[in-house]
């Protein structure tokens, strides 16, 4: 998804990842109406959890895809039908509308078939269960 490598930096859509992690989501709004929602990525003992703030975005306007160790999340926030029903004049527009696309690389294997997502109170929570290696790393064998 628009990823390039160069000079030791990973670049997605013209922005290197180090700079992207330091940016405020409102700094990434462009003329095309795209934005990046605030995101937390958490590792627990048995899973990875991605939480994205997506207030005002309906469940049917969100999409999540999983491939290898990447999670692709996209969505679109639209205005209500107020403008089409009644002529309105905005004195100030402070909310963000438009589309977003995010790609997250997960550093360890996870069970793609057990990924769960929940949208509650404007937060999209994606849970990625880790693959548990049940093989023992080292055991001591007694000699008879």
Q: Could you tell me which residue, 29 or 133, shows the higher pLDDT?
A: 133
Give the per-residue pLDDT at 123: 97
Q: Could you give the 3-state DSSP secondary structure of residue 29?
A: coil
Q: For 81-98, write each residue's pLDDT tens digit.
A: 555 567 777 788 777 888
Question: 139 pLDDT exceeds 80?
Answer: no
DSSP string, 68-136: TTEEEEEEEE---THHHHS----S---S--EEEEEEEE-SS-B-GGG-EEEEETTEEEEEEEBPP--S-
Structure token digits, residue 132: 């548990």
Question: 115 pLDDT exceeds 90?
Answer: yes
Domains in the chain (CATH in brackets) are 37-129 (2.60.40.790)
Q: For 1-40, write each residue's pLDDT tens digit.
A: 444 444 454 444 444 555 545 554 444 444 445 788 999 9
């Amino acid at each position: 998804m628009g990823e390039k490598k160069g000079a030791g930096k990973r670049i997605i859509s013209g922005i290197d990842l180090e700079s992207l992690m330091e940016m405020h989501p409102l700094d990434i709004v462009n003329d095309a109406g795209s934005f990046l929602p605030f995101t937390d990525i958490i590792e627990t003992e048995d899973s990875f959890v991605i939480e994205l703030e997506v207030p005002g975005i309906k469940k049917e306007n969100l999409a999540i895809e999983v491939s290898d160790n990447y999670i692709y999340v996209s969505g679109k926030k639209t205005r209500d039908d107020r403008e089409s029903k009644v002529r309105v004049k905005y004195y100030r527009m402070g909310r963000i509308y438009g589309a977003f696309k995010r790609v997250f690389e997960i550093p360890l294997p996870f069970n793609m078939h057990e990924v769960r997502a929940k949208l509650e109170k404007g937060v999209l929570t994606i849970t990625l269960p880790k693959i548990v290696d049940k093989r023992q790393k080292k055991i001591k064998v007694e000699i008879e």
